[in-house]
Amino acid sequence: MSLRRLFAVFAVVLLLVACSGVSRRISPPTASIQQLTVNADGSWKIDLRLQNYSNITMRFADIELALAVNGQDAGTVHAAPDLNIGPVTADVVSIDFKPGLEARLYAADALSRRRSLDYTLKGHIDAAPEQKKKAREFDIDAHNSLNPAPGLDGVLR
């Protein structure tokens, strides 16, 4: 093989290797309530699970979600966690929350009767690749339910 041919083959191989890098895929995150704890004063501690479906680490900067339980407005969940979550993984943010009266009653009823509590989260999460400063707004529209945790008074999971 001549030197010229060897150089051409080497250049083609080098070009293929350089172009075959993993692409960065940014996918919309999701949010769900992992645990809701009803405090003695009627306030709640919400453990909000943030799921990063992107194949790169994302920085979660701001969360603003309208929470409804059993179809009734409970208030707005707001947090600014400034939290990095690795590729295709999740993390939990604890948020102190003061629900409206109807929401408190629905939660108390679900706990006392050992029944599920349906909820929706609607709003947005601002997140960006960890190297970038400007976050992108992702819309959230989640529907799920929580059940009383066996052996844990005042806890829904």
**Residue 17, in any domain of the structure:** no
In this prediction the pTM is 0.84
The overall average pLDDT reported for the chain is 91
**Residue 6, in any domain of the structure:** no
Q: Is the dihedral of CA 34, 37, 42, 48 positive or negative?
A: negative
Residue 6 in this model has a pLDDT that exceeds 70? no
What confidence category does residue 24 fall into, taking pLDDT thresholds of 50, 70 and 90? confident
Residue in the structure block whose two tokens are 């799920």:
144
* 148 Cβ neighbours under 8 A, 6+ residues apart: 110, 111, 114, 115, 155, 156
Q: Is the dihedral of CA 13, 18, 22, 24 positive or negative?
A: negative
Beta strands in 53-154 (DSSP E): 58-69, 72-79, 83-85, 89-97, 117-129, 136-146
**Residue 69, in any domain of the structure:** yes
- The count of residues in the chain is 157
Average pLDDT over residues 17-28: 73
**Residue 19, in any domain of the structure:** no
**Least confident interval from 51-60, 93-102, 131-140:** 131-140
| pLDDT tens-digit series, residues 118-132 | 999 999 999 999 888
CATH number of domain containing 36: 2.60.40
**Residue 128, in any domain of the structure:** yes
Type and span of the H or E element at 157: none
Per-residue confidence (pLDDT) for residue 23, from 0 to 100: 79
| pLDDT tens-digit series, residues 59-106 | 999 999 999 999 999 999 999 999 999 999 999 999 999 999 999 999
Q: How many independent structural domains does the chain possess?
A: 1
Residues above pLDDT 70, as percent of the chain:
86
**Residue 96, in any domain of the structure:** yes
The boundaries of the domain holding residue 57 are 24-156
**Residue 2, in any domain of the structure:** no
In 3-state terms, what secondary structure has residue 149? coil
**Residue 3, in any domain of the structure:** no
Residue in the structure block whose two tokens are 């529907």:
143
